[in-house]
């Protein structure tokens, strides 16, 4: 059984083919610069050199068609025909309140996703275009939607409602939804295994840190709070997003700089965060390198990000009670030893004892690492995330009828004998 995972962004299409029987990735890749011109695909197959092909893709249908042609190509492909694909799993960023778990896509599901696309105007439209294109190109294959927001639908009202007029929620769906749900799900299940405890007995703080950043407070195995809100703009300092700021700032700057609502939204989403502070960089490796050379603004960016991370740990610990573990994941979380150290140093008073040598050695995306001392009451782990595996297992379980909510469904990676490929 071959499962395809598709993640359609505004100008890209990421894909992965997973062999369910062998439990291995057989191919993955990305089509870049979809719509904007000079498109190309980079196709990766284990044991082969990467294959790159330039091909104009004016829309997502053309990009997915290119993916299908490459994965079934006689020389570069891994399949004889598209008929070998058993199902396709689609990442959908926003499912609103309707979807609390992954679902097989039909017209009603697709229309429901369209109904909430105004809540994620940068993400849901390309997700929808990808679904429509894939269903058109692979009409006999089941398609499944996996929602970023689903994992967080267990949050209580006091966590997801904003102190704004209540009819904003009733009439327009204004509330906290949260994102990166598949990542938080994966690493929380892996943490329970590492702790040797059932997931429903674990209190965990998960910190997904990449260009986008979100944190999650997990009490007894379920999400009770998360840092991203109505949109992915709220919360921590990110690569180009501001995260939490005084809500009066946008109106203030719109008046001062004569900016439109669209322009201020673009500034907060694309020109703020690490980029806004440094003026030049979003990649934390560049920031760390230039901070070491004495660049004050790069050092300031690291200090601000780490300080915000530390505050979230404290806030979420207060929310969930006795804490078992803190988890760092995603690109920066897995590779940013300096940022991790700054975020958790000085937290001995809440039971976190950093082992600096272990932390410095946890600079790989291929293994799970403990970075606190053996006697630290609260453990801190670096756990590489695997959202595509969540996609794949949800799709397979929906196909065979065994799928249920994540506290009842037994994922392979939630078992003690799981080995990361």
Residues 6 and 137 in one domain: yes
Under 8 Å CB-to-CB from 388, ≥6 apart: which residues? Answer: 5, 16, 18, 25, 28
Query: H or E stretch including 6?
Result: strand 2-8
Residues 241 and 128 in one domain: no
Q: Is residue 414 part of a domain?
A: no
Residues 221 and 101 in one domain: no
Task: Given the residues 148, 225, 295, 324, select the one marked as catalytic.
Answer: 148
Q: Which residues pair with 369 in a beta bridge?
A: 382
Task: Please write the tens of the pLDDT for every residue from 146-182.
Answer: 999 999 999 999 999 999 999 999 999 999 999 999 9
Q: Which residues pair with 380 in a beta bridge?
A: 326
DSSP string, 280-308: S--SHHHHHHHHHTT-HHHHHHHHHHHHH
Q: Is residue 98 part of a domain?
A: yes
Checking if the pLDDT of 30 tops 90, the result is yes
Under 8 Å CB-to-CB from 224, ≥6 apart: which residues? Answer: 154, 155, 156, 159, 217, 218, 319, 320
Confidence (pLDDT) at 176:
96
DSSP string, 376-410: -SSEEEE----HHHHHHHHHHHHHHT----TTTS-
Q: Is residue 278 part of a domain?
A: yes
Average pLDDT of the chain, as a whole number: 93
Task: Please write the tens of the pLDDT for every residue from 190-215.
Answer: 999 999 999 999 999 999 999 889 99
Confidence (pLDDT) at 221:
95
Checking if the pLDDT of 417 tops 80, the result is yes
Q: What angle do CA 153, 157, 160 make, to 5 degrees?
A: 65
Q: What are phi and psi of 420, to 5 degrees?
A: -70, 125
Task: Please write the tens of the pLDDT for every residue from 366-389.
Answer: 899 999 999 999 999 999 999 989
Residues 9 and 142 in one domain: yes
Residues 133 and 222 in one domain: no
392: closest CA among 87, 92, 138, 128?
87
Output b/e per residue, 294-328; b: 16+ Cβ within 10 A.
Answer: ebebbbebbeebbebbbebbeebbeebeebbbbbb
Residues 264 and 374 in one domain: yes
Task: Please write the tens of the pLDDT for every residue from 84-136.
Answer: 999 999 999 888 888 888 999 999 999 999 988 887 777 888 899 999 999 99
DSSP type of residue 162: -
The total number of structural domains in the chain stands at: 2
Specify whether the backbone of 195 is left (phi greater than 0), alpha (psi in -120 to 50) or beta: alpha
Q: Is residue 155 part of a domain?
A: no
Query: H or E stretch including 32?
Result: strand 24-32
Residues 313 and 204 in one domain: yes
Out of 116, 131, 147, a domain closes at 147
Residues 139 and 221 in one domain: no
Instruction: Kindly report the pTM of this predicted structure.
Output: 0.92
Question: Is 324 assigned a catalytic role?
Answer: no
Residues 201 and 142 in one domain: no
Tokens encoding 222:
């379920």
Instruction: Write out the residue range of the structural domain in which residue 127 sits.
Output: 2-147
Q: Whole-angstrom Cα distance, residue 87 to residue 25?
A: 15
Contact 128, 60 (CB under 8 A): no
Residues 370 and 226 in one domain: yes
CATH number of the domain encompassing residue 359 = 3.30.420.40
Q: Is residue 420 part of a domain?
A: no
Residues 243 and 305 in one domain: yes
Q: Whole-angstrom Cα distance, residue 343 to residue 328?
A: 11
């Amino acid at each position: 059984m071959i499962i395809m995972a598709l993640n359609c962004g505004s100008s890209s299409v990421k894909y992965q083919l997973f062999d369910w029987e062998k439990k291995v990735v057989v191919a993955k890749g990305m089509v870049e610069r979809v719509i904007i011109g000079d498109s190309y695909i980079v196709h990766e197959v284990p044991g082969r050199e990467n294959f790159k092909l330039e091909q104009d893709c004016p829309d997502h249908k053309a990009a997915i068609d290119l993916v299908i042609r490459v994965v079934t190509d006689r020389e570069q492909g891994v399949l004889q025909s598209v008929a070998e694909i058993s199902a396709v799993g689609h990442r959908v960023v926003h499912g609103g309140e309707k979807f609390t778990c992954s679902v097989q896509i039909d017209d009603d599901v697709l229309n429901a996703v369209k109904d909430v696309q105004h809540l994620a105007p940068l993400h849901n439209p390309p997700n929808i275009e990808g679904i429509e294109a894939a269903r058109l190109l692979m009409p006999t294959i089941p398609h499944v939607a996996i929602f970023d927001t689903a994992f967080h639908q267990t949050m209580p009202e006091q966590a997801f409602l904003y102190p704004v007029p209540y009819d904003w929620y009733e009439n327009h769906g204004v509330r906290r939804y949260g994102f990166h749900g598949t990542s938080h799900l994966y690493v929380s299940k892996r943490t329970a295994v590492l702790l040797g405890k059932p997931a429903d007995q674990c209190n965990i703080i998960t910190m997904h840190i990449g260009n986008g950043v979100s944190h999650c407070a997990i009490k007894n195995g379920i999400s009770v709070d998360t840092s991203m809100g109505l949109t992915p703009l709220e919360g921590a300092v990110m690569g180009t997003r501001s995260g939490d700021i005084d809500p009066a700032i946008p109106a203030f700057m719109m008046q001062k700089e004569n900016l439109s609502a669209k322009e201020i939204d673009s500034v907060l989403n694309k020109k703020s965060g690490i980029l806004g502070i440094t003026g030049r960089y979003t990649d934390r490796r560049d920031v760390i390198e230039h901070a070491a050379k004495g660049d004050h603004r790069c050092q300031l960016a690291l200090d601000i990000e780490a300080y915000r991370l530390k505050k979230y740990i404290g806030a979420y610990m207060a929310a969930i009670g006795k804490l078992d573990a803190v988890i760092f994941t995603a690109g920066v979380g897995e590779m940013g030893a300096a940022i991790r150290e700054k975020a958790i140093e000085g937290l001995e008073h809440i039971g976190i004892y950093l082992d600096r040598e272990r932390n410095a050695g946890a600079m790989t995306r291929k293994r799970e690492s403990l970075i606190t001392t053996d006697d630290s009451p609260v453990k801190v782990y670096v756990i590489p995330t695997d959202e595509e595996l969540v996609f794949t297992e949800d799709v397979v379980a929906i196909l065979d009828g065994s799928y249920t909510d994540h506290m009842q469904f037994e994922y392979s990676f939630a078992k003690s004998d799981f080995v990361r490929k």
